[in-house]
Amino acid sequence: MKTLVVRFLPILPLIASPLLLTTPWTLRATEALDLARQLNVAFAAAAEKAAASVVVITVTSKTGGPAPEGNATWDLPDLSPEIRRFFEGKMARPEPAPARDLPVRIAYENQGSGVILREDGFLLTNAHVVENAEKISVRFPDGSDSLAEVAGTDAASDLAVLKVKTPRGRAARMGDSDRLKVGEFAIAIGAPFELDASVTFGHISAKGRQNILEDQGLDQDFLQTDAQINPGNSGGPLVNIEGEVIGINTLIRGMRTGIGFAIPINQAREVAEQLMKHGRYTRPWLGIAVRSLRENPEWRDVFPECRDGIVVKEIDAAGPARKSELRAGDLITRVNSRPVNTVGEFKREVRSRAIGDALSIEVLRDGRPRQIRMRSGPAPNDAGVGAAREATAATAQEERDLGMLLKPLPAELAQQEGLARGQGVLVGDVAAGSLAQRCGIKPGSILTDLNRHPLSSPRQFRDLLKATRPDQCLLLNVVSDGTARFEALRERE
């Protein structure tokens, strides 16, 4: 009889073996965590590096107007509703007037952000941050303060350069906005709602955004980002994962929408260089008015041979183009050998060369290609931009919104309806068949709120309306014949 000898291998080492315990899923989770840690370090390093060059700008401004009575809220028609509510509590008391009916000047503070351009005291911010400033104070990352003066502004690009009296901090590192790709990380740094050195992050959502604002002579070639931008971020930097400035934050589309816009830093640096040297920025100018086929598709029937391009609508008699072979009705397809499909692309190519440099322009005329060479000249005085803004504001009450002609609400009518001074806008007229008429809004009605925001001026109504999506329901509070009612407008014209 044979004896069966069974040998048992020790199983404890096998059970404890890391190789057997480590599954592919565990390996993937560990690798992912390592990558997350690396990304975390990269974001923190980029924010720390860039924040050392970000400043807080506090501007004291004064506006003229009648003295407010009692505890009435002083009207700030140029501010958005969100900023208005934020700053109402910060406004100083009006200066005493010698007579009741004389105008007074009301002081208020506004706050924005900025970037240190050079260590000898030059800062970059938005022009609207320092508009009408009487006193500018800059707070540096180390907490120190210095007074500053405006070295130059450019309304069309919404950029301003400041010069501080006591320089501090280090100059920001600049990136290359031309090399940006959609989807790259983006970090916004600034002081929203007085929260200094606030950091938000997201991505570059799009490049070359145009027609964000109604055309008022503004340069519009924005970076779009979903990094949160709020009131107070204006003038602060948008930076990349290396901590380099790639844009200057300047616009938001509504509140909490995740849609913000920044001026590409390459464009901002070009403007800033001239502002530091000359106090103003002079654009290369051809003296032509143009429209794009992409933005005006109904014109494509006129140019069946080409689906994209820039139509020359007018040629200024005093412009450089008048001396060239360019003609009204030409379709521009390329500038400097680069395709141009939008007005923004066309302007960018013209600006890419210095004033007086030769430009090569390819056009189609009567279906035949032509090549035209011309030189740009200096643009006329940009003061017209500010005038255009004032004219737009002055005529805003004559524009119709949802079929309504809106007007400021007279104080006596507000008192009669039991409304606070400065609250509400008056419906002067309603177009037949309009959305407003279909909802029962009549001339003489008073609109007190739009989308839960108290109304104080026709301009504010228009700004709130623009901030809503086309498919968004509009919520209106209406007072008519002493009766207050609520309307939900679901159809948009």
Options 75, 154, 158, 330, the catalytic residue: 158
User: How many whole angstroms separate alpha carbon 347 and alpha carbon 56?
Assistant: 32
How many CA atoms, within 13 angstroms, populate the side-chain half-sphere of residue 274?
15
Task: Report helix, strand or coil for 91.
Answer: coil
The pair phi, psi for residue 69, each rounded to 5°, is: -105, 145
How many CA atoms, within 13 angstroms, populate the side-chain half-sphere of residue 143?
0
3-state SS record for 304-334? CCCCCCEEEEEECCCCHHHHCCCCCCCEEEE
CA separation (Å) from 228 to 213, 248, 338, 371, 470? Answer: 19, 13, 34, 45, 22
Options 61, 80, 113, 128, the catalytic residue: 128
Closest CA to 138 of 269, 49, 236, 261: 236
158 catalytic per annotation: yes
What's at 383, amino acid-wise? A
What's at 384, amino acid-wise? G
User: How many whole angstroms separate alpha carbon 285 and alpha carbon 236?
Assistant: 29
Only one residue has tokens 């011309």, namely 374
Strand ranges (E), 281-389? 284-285, 288-292, 310-315, 331-335, 338-339, 358-365, 368-375, 377-378
User: How many whole angstroms separate alpha carbon 453 and alpha carbon 464?
Assistant: 8
The pair phi, psi for residue 216, each rounded to 5°, is: -130, 35
How many CA atoms, within 13 angstroms, populate the side-chain half-sphere of residue 88?
12
17 catalytic per annotation: no
Largest CA distance in the chain: 130
Residues 315, 316, 319, CA angle at the centre, nearest 5°? 110
For residues 473-492, one letter each, b for 16 or more C-beta atoms within 10 angstroms of the residue's C-beta and e for the rest, the string is ebebbbbbeeeeeeeebeee
The answer to whether 230 and 192 are in contact (CB under 8 A) is: yes
**Sequence-distant (≥ 6) Cβ neighbours of residue 44 within 8 angstroms:** none
- The conformation of residue 287, written as its DSSP 8-state character, comes to -
234 catalytic per annotation: yes
Options 80, 234, 292, 456, the catalytic residue: 234
Task: Report helix, strand or coil for 157.
Answer: coil
H-type helices in 109-159, by residue range? Answer: none
The answer to whether 411 and 421 are in contact (CB under 8 A) is: yes
Structure tokens at 43: 């974001």
Catalytic residue ranges? 128, 158, 234
